[in-house]
Amino acid sequence: MLFPTVTFTIFFMIVLPVSWFLMPRRRRWKIFMLAASYFFYGYWNWRFCFLIAASTIANQLFAKAIHRADTDRRKRLLLTGAVVANLGVLAYFKYFDFFVTNATNTLDKLGLHVSPEIVAVTLPVGISFFTFQALSYVIDTYRGTFEPGRLLDFAVFLSFFPHVVAGPIVRPAEFMPQLKERHDPRHLDSSRAFFLIVIGLFKKVVIANLLATQIVDAVFASPNQHSSLEVLVAVVAYAVQIYCDFSGYTDMAIGIALLLGFRFPQNFDSPYTSTSIQDFWRRWHMTLSRWLRDYLYVPLGGNRSGKWRTYRNLMLTMVIGGLWHGAAWTFVVWGAIHGAFLCIEHWRRARRETRGLPDPPDTRARRIGARLITFTIVCFAWIFFRSESFANAEQMLERLFDPAYWLDPAPLVTVGVLLAIAAGILEQYVPRETWGRLMARFSNLAPVAQGLMLGASLLVINTMGPRGVAPFIYFRF
């Protein structure tokens, strides 16, 4: 079920009033919200409701057992079992065919010809997201930073429909205490919620969908049929498309959760204004970045064990982060590119500190240059992320850097495409204070005026957006 559809609108118009009606009756509210979330998740394929239910029960049992364990050794064994079980399920659904295909190809090169039966495994929507949330629940229990709650509370946390299919990756300490708070609809920040939902709709329906249908999909499908200029614009357009698609979903998820009385962590902070790759990962998919840092990079040793192990840890973290997005070597290369540049940036900082050199002056010209370099690296990596195969990525790069095709016609580079790209990038340069003032002014309007503005905004979005709404990119992760 997609947010910007009539089906979801009907679903939410039923869920919202019933949710607030049952809110004073906490247990009934939790049962209702659990049922609504399972209906939302199972709308695409009801069979996968059993998967998320099994994950809920198994991880609750692991967390309770770890919390009751009286020795560190027993806790470690239980944690290992939980991690293996979660990653095993994830590996089966997401990576089984990938591993079998690559193993078969490797054996063929060694002269050992095998023909294993390939099982067409359907990927459950959002499995990477709820698996990571379940792991954080168990790991935080093991670390003693969070005490496991009741099964019903954990079930609501894991399946809560605003975040279950594409995040943000909410940690138990960020959500489960809110289940105990007294939520009052009179103190609801509905103005901010509707503002975020409309902004998210505009990003997704107008900018992301327009760029996908007008240039990105066509160019990446057959790069050799397009000019070098079209390939260049398509690469930049995809950078804007994936940002507007995913941040638009996150804006809507945060707004929908707010209308239900719950707060989600921020997931994007103007990533294309970054001045380094490290800065980019502090601003892009922030809940995943923090998850990888706290549950992978730091346990590997972080930057505490010498420079070479630091480089190793950075590369492993980013490669695994790339593989998290999908079972393809193109995702691994995407992660490796980011890992390599993180290592280079770390090496440069360490070298400067060793020589006792001061930080470079923070001038406007230097910031502009750093932003352009960072954006170029990010766009280069997006080529592999978006490409269906290495052959596809190679075609994109060949056409991009071949001077023979730079003078070819570029009919896909239209004014609408360029305006959409500009809007998606310039939006990130609007100061946070300006967005805050706009939200405050909207909140101070009379309800009738707010309703008229929202109605007009939805009319504009419906008029400007292409017919139909494509699934969110991160639904397949």
> Is residue 75 pLDDT above 60, yes or no?
yes
* 312 or 468, greater pLDDT: 312
- Residue 376 to residues 370, 373, 452, Cα–Cα distance (Å): 10, 5, 41
Note whether 72 and 147 are within 8 A (CB): no
Exposure of 254 by Cβ count < 10 A (0-12 exposed, 13-18 middle, 19+ buried)? buried
- Verify whether residue 163 is a known catalytic residue: no
> Is residue 101 pLDDT above 60, yes or no?
yes
Note whether 215 and 413 are within 8 A (CB): yes
Where helices occur in 355-431 by DSSP H, the ranges are: 364-386, 390-401, 415-426
Average pLDDT of the residues in 418-446: 87
Which among 465, 461, 440, 470 is positioned nearest to 195, based on CA atoms? 440
Where along the chain do its domains lie? 6-187, 190-476
Average pLDDT of the residues in 385-406: 92
Note whether 94 and 127 are within 8 A (CB): yes
At 332-360, the pLDDT tens digits run 999 999 999 999 999 998 888 888 888 88
Measure the CA–CA gap between 55 and 58, rounded to whole angstroms: 5
Note whether 321 and 288 are within 8 A (CB): yes
List the single range of 17-21, 67-71, 121-125, 240-244 with lowest mean pLDDT. Answer: 121-125
Average pLDDT of the residues in 150-157: 96
Note whether 277 and 341 are within 8 A (CB): yes
Inter-helix orientation angle 307-325/329-354, to 10°? 150
Measure the CA–CA gap between 256 and 236, rounded to whole angstroms: 30
pLDDT for position 46: 87
Average pLDDT of the residues in 394-421: 92
At 196-230, the pLDDT tens digits run 999 999 999 899 999 999 999 999 999 999 999 99
Average pLDDT of the residues in 70-86: 94
Which candidate in 67, 325, 338, 346 is catalytic?
325
pLDDT for position 335: 96
For residue 344, give every residue at least 6 positions away whose Cβ sits within 8 Å of its Cβ, in sequence order, or none.
none
Peptide bond into 466 cis (omega under 30): no
Percent of all residues in the chain with a pLDDT value above 90, rounded to a whole number: 63
Average pLDDT of the residues in 126-144: 93
Average pLDDT of the residues in 259-276: 94
> Is residue 118 pLDDT above 60, yes or no?
no
List the single range of 1-5, 90-94, 300-304, 313-317 with lowest mean pLDDT. Answer: 1-5
Q: Which amino acid is at 199?
A: I
Q: Which amino acid is at 11?
A: F
pLDDT for position 99: 72
